[in-house]
A and B are shown apart, each in its own frame.
Chain A
Amino acid sequence: MTVSVENVHRRFGAAAALDGVSLEVAPGEFVALLGPSGSGKTTLLRVLAGLEGTDAGRVGIGGRDMTGVPARERGVGVVFQHYALFRHMTVFDNVAFGLGVRPRAERPTRAETARRVRELLELVRIPELERRYPDQLSGGQRQRVALARALAIQPRLLLLDEPFGALDALVRKEVRRWVRRLHDELGIATILVTHDQEEAMEMADRVAVMERGRIVQCDAPSALLDAPATAFVAGFVGEAARIPCAVRHGVAHFDPLPLPPMRVALPDGPAQAFVRPHETLAGPGEGAVLRLVRAGTAGEARAVVEAGEATLDALLHPQGAWAVRGGACRVQLRAAQVFGAAGAQARALPLVERAGVRA
């Protein structure tokens, strides 16, 4: 394992930033830490980088116990949230910094340093900017410099702390793919911290979802969507609406919401159902109100429906002239993930599938 985190605790005053976190990262793996702000993901990253201590637990990198090892001896490359470039140095000097601060015996010669820096700038595709200062660069260019600077020390592990936050949406998408390709080329184990689930799902091999200082689930993106471990993961990952319901004799009832009951294998009691937009259908009928109709990106039509108290994203089915804003409609649920008491969960399906409510 490149990284093994075992039961790490870290408290700030009364609040636990990390509350028993364990994580394994294989060589060459790309893992995302995903969670809302305050969930401890940045603290975990700082613990790995050696910028933050731990109260209990063990952190190993490359098979070596990192307890008490200062940041400078860890060989971990970090791209900081705001890049933290050295403003008084040129791009070249920024990238060369990690080579220049080595002990004299290990320091490469001036020519060797220059060759390596140019190689890295070539790699991040900004060779023409080596004489510029950070303040003369755009956000995307700064990020590339920060990446080249972190790679210059040939790290065993690369940590990215919300590196795309300062980029605009269009650039962000492109840079994400590029960073992932770069990771695949270099094969350095990478941990990305983000609160953007799309980013995590698109880039990472595995996503560790964090909630209040714990990793609640660490799985491949598709597994997170298909089999969320807890109600928190179901609500946080993917687009999902949370609807309260009550289970009686194997049937989930949504009263007073105008939604059809569904069969679900859970014990009786109150529960939370999570429905995804592509599993929610708005068709002609009564009960709910169409608030918004718009064309989706894949040729389908999307709608926002108001079913009693709940506002749901839904697919319009069938599409057609019947759907007008403010008009009545009927909501069907194709499937839902239902979480009962004590963490029990089950997939809920329509009661009357055979009666022609095919979806």
Chain B
Amino acid sequence: MSATLIHARPARVAPVPGLGLSLGVTIAWAGLIVVIPLAALAIKPWELGVAGVLASLADPRVVSALSVSFGAALAAALVALPLGLLLAWAIVRLEFPGRRVLDGAIDLPFALPTAVAGIALTALLAPNGWLGAPLMAAFGWQIAYTQAGIVAALVFVGLPFIVRTVEPVLRDMGRDAEEAAATLGATRPQALARVVLPALAPSLLTGFGLAFARGVGEYGSVIFIAGNMPMQTEIAPLLIVIRLEQFDYAGAAAVGLAMLLLSFAILLGLNLLQRALRRGRR
């Protein structure tokens, strides 16, 4: 009896319980909703052959649409970055009436159908709109139906990503480090530049990446405000829809693949940069 007990199978204690199950579920899930569709996207264009894909992508209209999409997304993320930081700062650090309302309103672009946002922004910024008309009259600026309009729409949808990634880090940071900097003789700008911003840099970068990625893929809000002039204000997602409507599935997939690869390269770069910024930190 005792012998059987002693020679029972060795106790194998997994450091993380349920590793097999959770890993299996995760991989199956990721495979179903991420890898298989992306694989299809990666395979589809080659129906045209290598030369066909290259020709399809070399089409000046495609090149223009891709550069409009990525350029506008980059510009929008750059505009939204300081704005989002300021908003997060206001929510975390300042006490003012309506703070909670502002806090809630920041998430609205997440919830609002993007088409509604697009139409609202168009109505506002159109040459006869509330904001568009005075801007037109005062500076001769036209926002709607230009690339500036695309950027405006992308700032709108990208802003909450930056606010919501920076906010918890800012809250968590507290004022200790700033106070320490002050007792060591740092002026306010020095404390911000050397202590606060570097501490926030990784989260700012993450927010920037999210806003940028969202901007690249954004469709609903942009098509209303962009005017969609080929070679000028036509975005890549719209071009994909146009090609689909012309039953050019492989051509649409080729544009999609190009977007996928570009986005992946940029996000990977951002991630590596973020890792470099986080060195030494747990």
Contacts and interface: CB of A to CB of B under 8 A. Distances in A.
Contacts of B282: 135
B53 interface: no
29 contacts: A50-B183, A70-B182, A72-B184, A72-B186, A74-B183, A75-B185, A78-B179, A78-B183, A84-B177, A84-B179, A85-B177, A86-B177, A86-B195, A86-B198, A87-B280, A97-B181, A97-B184, A97-B194, A98-B185, A101-B187, A102-B185, A133-B280, A133-B281, A135-B280, A135-B282, A136-B280, A149-B180, A150-B183, A152-B184
Given A72-B185, A150-B184, 13 more contacts: A70-B182, A72-B183, A82-B176, A86-B177, A87-B177, A88-B199, A88-B280, A100-B194, A101-B184, A101-B187, A102-B185, A133-B280, A149-B180
B100 interface: no
Contact of B183 (A76, A87, A88, A90): A76
A44 to B, nearest CB: 15
A149 B195 CA distance: 14
Interface of B: 176-177, 179-187, 190, 194-195, 198-199, 201, 277, 279-282
Contacts of A84: 176-177, 179-180
B281 A88 contact: yes
A89 B278 CA distance: 10
Contacts of B194: 86, 97, 100-101
Contacts, number: 84
The SS class assigned to the A binding surface is: loop
A233 interface: no
Contacts of B183: 49-51, 71-72, 74, 76-78, 150
A101 B198 contact: no
Interface residues of A, number: 34
B190 A101 contact: yes
Contacts of A50: 182-183
A124 interface: no
B186 A133 contact: no
A216 interface: no
Given A50-B183, A51-B179, A97-B194, A87 B279 contact: no
For A76, A78, A80, A87, which residue has the most chain B Cβ atoms within 10 angstroms? A87
Contact of A133 (B198, B199, B201, B279): B279
A181 interface: no
A72 B199 contact: no
A101 B185 contact: yes
| Shortest Cβ-Cβ A-B pairs, 4 listed | A133-B280, A84-B176, A98-B184, A84-B180
Contacts of B198: 86, 88-89
A243 interface: no
A149 B277 CA distance: 23
A132 interface: yes
A126 interface: no
Nearest to B200: A88
Nearest to A149: B184
The SS class assigned to the B binding surface is: helix
B192 to A, nearest CB: 12
A100 B187 CA distance: 12
Nearest to A82: B176
A212 to B, nearest CB: 25
A135 B280 CA distance: 7
Contacts of B199: 86-88
For B180, B187, B194, B279, which residue has the most chain A Cβ atoms within 10 angstroms? B180
A136 B279 CA distance: 11
Nearest to A155: B183
A25 interface: no
B39 to A, nearest CB: 39
B140 to A, nearest CB: 44
A229 interface: no
Nearest to B197: A88
A135 B281 contact: yes
A82 B207 CA distance: 28
B175 to A, nearest CB: 9
Interface string A62-77: 0000000011111111
Given A97-B194, A101-B194, A80 B185 contact: no
Nearest to B278: A88
A349 interface: no
A101 B183 CA distance: 11
A153 interface: yes
A74 B177 CA distance: 17
A51 B176 contact: no
Contacts of B190: 101
Nearest to A70: B182
Contacts of B277: 88
A169 B184 CA distance: 30
Contacts of B177: 84-87
Nearest to B178: A84
Interface in A91-150: 97-98, 100-102, 132-133, 135-136, 149-150
A80 B179 contact: yes
A97 B187 CA distance: 12
Contacts of B181: 86, 97, 101
